[in-house]
Amino acid sequence: MNSELAINVELAKKILTGFIRAEVTRTGMERVVLGLSGGIDSALSCFLAAEALGPENVLAVRMPYKTSSADSLEHAQQVIDQLGVQSLTVEVTGMVDALYAGFPDADEKRRGNAMARARMIVLYDQSAAFGGLVLGTGNKTEILLGYSTIYGDAACALNPLGDFYKTQVRQFARAVGVPAAIIDKPPSADLWAGQTDEGELGFTYADADLLLYHLIDLRYSPEACTAAGFDPGFVRDVVRRVKRNHFKRVMPPIAKVSNRTIGYDFLYLRDWGT
């Protein structure tokens, strides 16, 4: 990976396990629930949660659809077996197909979004049953590009990986012992047969991460990125995606009509004297 994106894994692990422990216990809970897809992000999140809270306090839920890859289920099982976390498998085929029985012309994007939201219904139901918060698994690249389903995989109570680019997640996962088969396979949301993240995006995570690092972390302008050697069309595409998907990264805006509006003037826990 590019040296500019390299992370101190031991420090990152200390910060993130502390973050998970603090954010969960401050709610009065001790457990988390997460969707374990067989991909690298959810695998790393599961590793961190198991270390932070103990494997007995982590429920990993596999939620296949009828077109899901058999490898995804197997890779998720490898994580479950390696960590000893609690697990559950809930197929979402019936939920999704019942919806689209009335809309047979729905395209893959609509069906994929429904799969993501059906899975979040399952996770929040299991959150109530298991008594744990829903742990997010999205990374910084996906969040910035809007490569997620709002109220689907973007929904969670806390997210330990949201400030790590995809290439940093890969470095992190390799260092903590995530199985190589998960790290090395092409990233995919597994929403339809043959679907891959990079194929859908039209560029690689490695290229996107380096550009986003310059745009976001180093605060380069798009023009400065082009001058630094990035392809102008690629810069325009990524900037457009970041701008267009801002609504996915924030709470819904509230029309301001009072002196104390949530999200504007009413922001902090100190408002309650904490």
d(CA 146, CA 242): 7
CA distances to 131, 172, 262 from 267, rounded to whole Å, are: 27, 33, 7
With beta carbons less than 8 A apart as the criterion, state whether 59 and 85 touch: yes
Cα angle value 119/249/217 (rounded, 5°): 125
- Average pLDDT of the residues in 208-232: 97
For the chain, the domains span: 3-197
The predicted pLDDT at position 173 comes to 98
Q: In a 3-state reduction of DSSP, which class is residue 78?
A: helix
pLDDT at 274 over 90: no
DSSP 253: P
The C-alpha atoms of residue 13 and residue 11 are separated, in whole angstroms, by 5
Identity at 108, one-letter amino acid code? E
What is the rounded distance in angstroms from the CA atom of residue 219 to the CA atom of residue 210? 12
pLDDT for residue 31 is more than 60: yes
Q: Distance between CA atoms of 189 and 224, rounded to whole angstroms?
A: 33
pLDDT of 189 above 70: no
What integer is the mean pLDDT of 28-55?
Answer: 97
* Residues 4 and 148 sit within 8 Å (Cβ to Cβ): no
pLDDT at 162: 97
Burial bucket for residue 89 (CB in 10 Å: 0-12, 13-18, 19+): middle
Token pair for 127: 């959150």
User: Over 90: is that where the pLDDT of 2 sits?
Assistant: no
When mean pLDDT is compared across 91-95, 107-111, 160-164, 226-230, the lowest value belongs to: 107-111
Give the confidence band of 273 by pLDDT, cuts at 50, 70, 90: low
Q: Got the DSSP string for 98-146?
A: HHHTS-TT--HHHHHHHHHHHHHHHHHHHHHHHTEEEBP---HHHHHHT
Sheet holding 86-89, edge to edge: 86-89, 58-62, 31-35, 132-134
Question: Contact, 145 vs 201, CB < 8 A?
Answer: yes
DSSP state of 128: H
DSSP state of 7: -
Q: CB of 68 within 8 A of CB of 91? A: no
Whole-Å CA distances, 225 to 5, 216, 239: 16, 11, 11
Indicate the pLDDT class of residue 185, thresholds 50, 70 and 90. Answer: confident
CATH architecture designation of domain 3-197: 3-Layer(aba) Sandwich (3.40)
Q: Could you tell me the pLDDT band of residue 227, with boundaries at 50, 70 and 90? A: very high
What string of DSSP letters covers 198-221? HHHHTS-HHHHHHHHIIIIIS---
Q: What's the burial of 192, exposed, middle or buried (CB within 10 Å: 0-12/13-18/19+)?
A: middle
